[in-house]
């Protein structure tokens, strides 16, 4: 079993104890720095990171392989990578980059195949001069999304 396989198994096993927390990314560098990024349906508490860190560190032998370990939650500005992240962010504003355009809109629905965004836009009036505000709604399959980031508003 490779070092990466062993670490991956330990992370999966530790996450079974915390069903609301899920793995976003696991990276092991050439210098054996283990980087674990987590997210959670209700956020990630510091204790969650500590528990996952201990589960990994207590089951690896530094005599066998020296390593460094970093366990953290994904940052606010981190791109969404999993369907589960979209589902937990329904009702929030996203910046979604597609191949041809970038849309900043409210995420009103997320299922296993696509998201639905809703926003207001200014468009030319159908009759007469000037612009009017219209409500837009667009269904976007996940495969078309290049990047999506939750915006933070104060």
91 & 61 share domain: no
Adjacency order of strands within the sheet including 21-28: 21-28, 33-40, 68-73
Domain count, the chain: 2
Examine the fold and report which residue of 51, 73, 95 is the final residue of a domain before the chain moves on: 73
The residue with tokens 């994904």 is 74
CATH number, position 50: 3.30.300
Secondary structure letter of residue 41 according to DSSP: B
* Residue 82 pLDDT: 93
pLDDT band at 11 (very low <50, low <70, confident <90, very high): very high
pLDDT in tens, 88-110: 999 999 999 999 999 999 999 99
Examine the fold and report which residue of 28, 53, 73 is the final residue of a domain before the chain moves on: 73
pLDDT band at 117 (very low <50, low <70, confident <90, very high): very high
Q: Tokens standing for 44? A: 């990630």
78 falls within a domain: no
95 & 142 share domain: yes
Residue 4 sits at φ, ψ, to 5 deg, of -65, -40
16 & 60 share domain: yes
CA angle 49, 27, 99 (to 5 degrees): 105
* Residue 153 pLDDT: 75
pLDDT in tens, 40-80: 999 899 999 999 999 999 999 989 999 999 999 998 789 99
20 falls within a domain: yes
37 & 17 share domain: yes
50 & 90 share domain: no
* Residue 92 pLDDT: 94
pLDDT in tens, 129-140: 889 899 999 999
8 & 68 share domain: yes
8 & 37 share domain: yes
Secondary structure letter of residue 74 according to DSSP: P
* Residue 119 pLDDT: 95
66 & 9 share domain: yes
Domain of 33, in residue numbers: 3-73
* Residue 86 pLDDT: 96
* Residue 24 pLDDT: 95
């Amino acid at each position: 079993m490779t070092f990466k396989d062993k670490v991956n198994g330990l992370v999966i096993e530790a996450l079974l104890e915390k069903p609301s927390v899920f793995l976003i990314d696991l990276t092991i560098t050439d210098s054996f720095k283990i980087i674990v990024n987590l997210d959670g349906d209700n956020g990630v508490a510091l204790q969650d990171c500590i528990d996952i860190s201990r589960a990994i560190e207590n089951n690896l032998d530094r005599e066998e392989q020296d390593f460094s370990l970093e366990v953290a939650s994904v940052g606010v500005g981190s791109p969404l990578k999993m369907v589960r992240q979209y589902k937990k962010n329904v009702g929030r504003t996203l910046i979604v980059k597609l191949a041809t355009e970038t849309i900043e809109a409210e995420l009103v629905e997320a299922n296993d195949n696509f998201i639905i965004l809703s926003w207001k836009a200014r468009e030319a009036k159908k009759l007469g001069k000037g612009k009017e505000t219209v409500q837009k709604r667009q269904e976007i399959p996940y495969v078309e999304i290049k990047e999506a980031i939750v915006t933070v508003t104060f």
